[in-house]
Structure 1
Amino acid sequence: MAGKQISRSKYRIILIALSILGFSLLIFLSSLSPLRNSSLSSSAHFHLPTSQTSFVGSLEQFLAKTQSSPSLPDDTVPESITDQHVKNLDDAIFHSETYRLYSDPFYPISLPLRVYVYNMPSKFTYDLLLLFQNTYRDTSNLTSNGSPVHRLIEQHSIDYWLWADLIAPQSERLLKSVVRVHRQEDADLFYIPFFTTISFFLLEKQQCKALYREALKWITDQPAWKRSGGRDHIMPVHHPWSFKTVRRSVKKAIWLLPDMDSTGNWYKPGQVYLEKDLILPYVANVDFCDAGCLSEINPKRSTLLFFRGRLKRNAGGKIRSILVAQLKGADGVIIEEGTSGDGGKEAAQKGMRRSLFCLNPAGDTPSSARLFDAIVSGCIPVIVSDELELPFEGILDYRKIALFVSSNDALKPGWLLKYLKDIQPAHIKELQQNLAKYSRHFLFSSPAQPLGPEDLVWKMMAGKVVNIKLHSRRSQRVVEGSRNVCTCECRPGNITNTGSTIS
């Protein structure tokens, strides 16, 4: 009996010990839960790390650093390019791709993306950056429609931000989605660092055209270009006027664009389509409003709808003047003519930070830099641009941060204001919370940040690589008499809205 009592006592002790252990484990796991929630919450409210987000400031640092460091020799083209040069590269690429195919189980759908950056002669790169730096303080040049030239260059400076990150020392880079390779046979894609926007706006017309022709010859003489017809080459032509005189010769390359205007005013039929090209955001003209800023100003937004910009535009932007006539003077609406310079920037920033909704009608092209100013200001965009294509839409869902209104509805007298006033406060709060999460995706910076626009460029590009290889190889093996047209273009006439409306 005594033995049984002892064994029962031991059994009870073990049960008590296990209970205490289980209870302690439960407390420990509970203590971790707030940490996990906190982590998720902090990702929703992005705090900008120490980095340079000003194009002018970043460029100054970049040029100071690169001028003091030894430069790599320019990529050269053989005096007489032959089929043998192309074949040698093709064979080298075949061996490299074969190795990757059998050694990497995820190839070619894998990251980091491998990008070869051409070392172009300085007249296409550093000289143009220096030209901008040496003239932007002392020049107030305006385009024919009154836009400040140097500000336009900043808005379309995606070519600089991508290039500066790619060529930075690997130890200083933060992105894991892309790596620069120094052998062409190792590359998934080839990056062409020609500053087409700077040259268009800051060189004399004939000088610019001559430089475009020189760049075209330099690019198309490269063996890698000849091998693929340019299909695996990335060409930054972000301003719709840039590189326009020679575009037809590089139409198979991947273009980095602000939108895909379908009127024919900017891009000719067959030059641009979503399968091939990539839409990138404009560089914002206003300061980034971080989580602390948003928490302070969101409860104080007293203006219902705000717009500040050019009130009269051409082409698809003609809707602006009609909307302005209908909305101007309405209660809770501020419509202002935009002005350039620091005063214009400050007025736009104040207006967006005081408003619930920011009107984003089409400009001369379907897109407008104002959309990205609104996003980084936490002002809910109201997009009235039926032909608009958006950056990174394979990754980001814009329905969660913006309102999309058809031109037909927007032009009905009184319709737009009633629509905005009927939106429930809970929906407005949800849109604002999502804007706080999404704004980081549109903030170019140096060094480039994870989940910033530079990072999303390469994640989107990774999705194109298989198709690029498909079209490149297919073009290399077709024989005379083959049906050699094989495209999957996304055109307005082919788009059908099969989903229900989600409010």
Structure 2
Amino acid sequence: MAGKHTPRSKSRILLLSLSLLGFSVLFFLFSLSPLRNPTHSQFPNTNIHVETSFVSSLEDFLTHKAPRFPNIRDDTVGGAVGEEEVRKLDDRIYDSEMDRLYRDPYYPVGLPLKVYVYNMPSKFTYDLLWLFRNTYKETSNLTSNGSPVHRLIEQHSIDYWLWADLIAPESERLLKSVVRVHRQEEADLFYIPFFTTISFFLMEKQQCKALYREALKWMTDQPAWKRSGGRDHILPVHHPWSFKSVRRYVKNAIWLLPDMDSTGNWYKPGQVYLEKDLILPYVANLDLCDAKCLSETNPKRSTLLFFRGRLKRNAGGKIRSKLVGELTGVDDVIIEEGTAGEGGKAAAQSGMRKSLFCMSPAGDTPSSARLFDAIVSGCIPVIISDELELPFEGLLDYRKIALFVSSSDAVKPRWLLNFLRGIRPAVIKEMQQNLAKYSRHFLYSSPAQPLGPEDLVWRMMAGKVVNIKLHSRRSQRLVEGSRSLCTCECRVTNATKTSPALPGLS
């Protein structure tokens, strides 16, 4: 009986084998096909709560995350070092760089960027964060021009967002563009986690200057600083007043800035330039208008142009009073003096979400958080700031989301209104759609998100590494009396021209 069933058993085994082979081929072919939903590949941890409020994120960081961060041992030096220590580090860096050069065909171009984070004394880091946390409810603390101090600190809190992400355990980080290293010879760049803006606004003037001098001595005593003259060191000085009393001594470092103001009001000639430094966006004051919000508000945007803020400013901001005279009294234009506090925020948010265009003129400096408020509100920015430099412009094309108008054109009678009214609905719709895509690039968050501003910082930094190494090595081998500075100025002066006629303009 058994012999009669053998052929049928063999045929079943053969059929099963062929079926398994077929499934294997189909699985292999499917694995080669592109992902159906790239969103999930970009954000594999979408179930994690993402915090975009500086105050809320800082509270969680100080009370829950910071205490449980492992006390990772690194080779940060506690005091001044001699030439021998600098030479030893130079030798170790040479060995590491040669190993990477011969082993990695893409070195030094590519990601992830290797960043060494200094383990600075707590008076430069945690103590200042606690100082903000314990005083931020004191809203009576104002600057000389009436701006709430703690809100200014929030707007310029890029130092917190970058540092908190860098020092977080790798298991909790989402970014692939940067990795923290704990040995200096492995680093492409060095990050200095000193909270210069908090100390400037919340400490007594002389106390702050003393802390600046201490921080200056501490960082310039580090062997890696001595080796490169600070050229491969990143220093966050995002508010134009921060670290001002001593920053002439660290002009070789990579500064993280809000703009570059070539007028000389905030930065001295030779201190800042695009080849060395990086422009970072302000932290937006307003809440994100997400996809659902945009679908509800875009059809109802009945205001042509909106501006809420201080109507009188100094320096380049003097144009504001001229614009007020030109635009006041027009039916579908709202120009109003801004007020601080939650009431002012609510009014600005409501106004931007009801408007097609939001005016972003220069203030005391070329930049303003208002630009990023407009972007996250889905309101097309009209930038009137002739000296403005923009964040991540090597990666992002702002012509797709904003209009650029020269100051000379903007103040001509009826010129700006005629320009905006001439933009056809199809062009407006396209720019609104682009704003919805771009808003993620300007939202600082914890944990830091792929393609968020923290991520774009390191992608931009990666493009600077080769040039940084070139100038560091060049400075190390120049002999005394040699011509150490370039004798020609090759940078093109920044001067805004009105956007050329967009496709679809009547």
TM-score (norm 1): 0.89
Alignment of 1:64-463 (within 5 A): 64=63, 65-69=65-69, 71-72=71-72, 77=77, 81-463=81-463
Q: Conserved in 1, the CA contact under 8 Å of 2:361 and 2:385? A: yes
The amino acid that maps onto 1:447 is P
Q: Does the residue aligned with 2:190 lie in a helix, a strand or coil?
A: strand
Give the gaps of 5 or more residues in structure 1.
1-24
Sort the Cα spacing of 1:377 and 1:495 in 2 relative to 1 into closer, same or farther, 3 A.
Answer: closer
The residue aligned with 2:52 is 53
Deviation for aligned residue 1:423 = 0.3
Residue 482 of structure 1 deviates from its aligned partner by: 2.1
AA in 2 matched with 1:55: F
- In structure 1, distance between residues paired with 2:358 and 2:223: 48
1:489 CA displacement: 6.4
**Cα distance in 2, alignment partners of residues 40 and 273 from structure 1:** 36
2:381·2:401 contact (CA, 8 Å) conserved in 1? yes
Give the direction of change, closer, same or farther, for the CA distance of 1:136–1:494 in structure 2 (3 Å limit). Answer: closer
- CA offset digits 1:258-286 (Å, max 9, x no partner): 00001111000000000000000000000
Q: How far, CA to CA, are the matches of 1:410 and 1:500 in structure 2?
A: 14
Structure 1 residues 150 and 215: CA distance shift in structure 2, 3 A:
same
Q: Which amino acid aligns with 2:86?
A: V
Count of aligned pairs between the two proteins: 470
Shift of 1:488: 8.4
Q: Distance in 2 between matches of 1:308 and 1:287?
A: 16
**Distance in 1 of aligned mates of 2:486 and 2:110:** 25
Hey, what's the Cα distance between the residues in 1 that align with 2:502 and 2:228? 43
C-alpha deviation, 1:348, in angstroms: 0.5
Q: Report the CA distance shift for 1:55/1:321 in structure 2 as closer, same or farther (over 3 A).
A: same
- Cα 1:41–1:175 change in 2 (3 A) is closer
SS in 2 for 1:420: helix
Shift of 1:480: 2.2
The alpha carbon displacement at 1:478 in A equals 1.0
Deviation per CA, 1:283-327: give whole Å up to 9, x if none. 000001111111111111010000001111111100001101111
Q: Distance in 1 between matches of 2:181 and 2:489?
A: 31
* AA aligned opposite 1:98: M
* Displacement after TM superposition at 1:41 (Å): 12
Contact map agreement 2:74 2:183 (CA 8 A) in 1? no
Q: Deviations over 1:154-184 (max 9, x none)?
A: 0000000000000000000000000000000
Inter-partner Cα distance in structure 1 for 2:383 and 2:354: 18
Give, in whole Å, the separation in 1 of the partners of 2:47 and 2:433.
17
Q: What is the CA RMSD across the aligned residues, in angstroms? A: 2.5
Distance in 1 (CA, whole Å) between partners of 2:152 and 2:142 is 10
Partner of 1:63: 62
Aligned-pair CA distance for 1:491: 4.5
Q: Percent identity?
A: 79
In 2, distance between residues paired with 1:409 and 1:366? 17
Equivalent-residue separation in structure 2 for 1:52 and 1:417 (angstroms): 39
Letter in structure 1 aligned against 2:56? G
The residue type equivalent to 1:324 in the other structure is V
CA contact (8 A) 2:86 2:227 kept: yes
| Structure 1 Cα separation of the partners of residues 290 and 234 of structure 2 | 32
Contact 2:309/2:338, CA 8 A, preserved across alignment: yes
Check whether the contact 1:306–1:351 (CA below 8 A) recurs between aligned residues: yes
- Read off the aligned partner of 2:59 and give its amino acid letter: E
Instruction: Assess, with a 3 A threshold, how the Cα gap between structure 1 residues 79 and 53 changes in structure 2: closer, same or farther.
Output: closer
Deviation string, structure 1 residues 350-396 (Cα, Å, up to 9, x no partner): 00000000000001000010000000000000000010000000000
Where has structure 1 moved over 3 Å in runs of 4 or more?
A: 38-43, 68-80, 486-497, 499-503
Q: What is the CA–CA distance in structure 2 between the aligned matches of 1:96 and 1:106, rounded to whole Å? A: 15
Aligned to 1:16: none
Cα distance in 2 for partners of 1:489, 1:283 equals 33
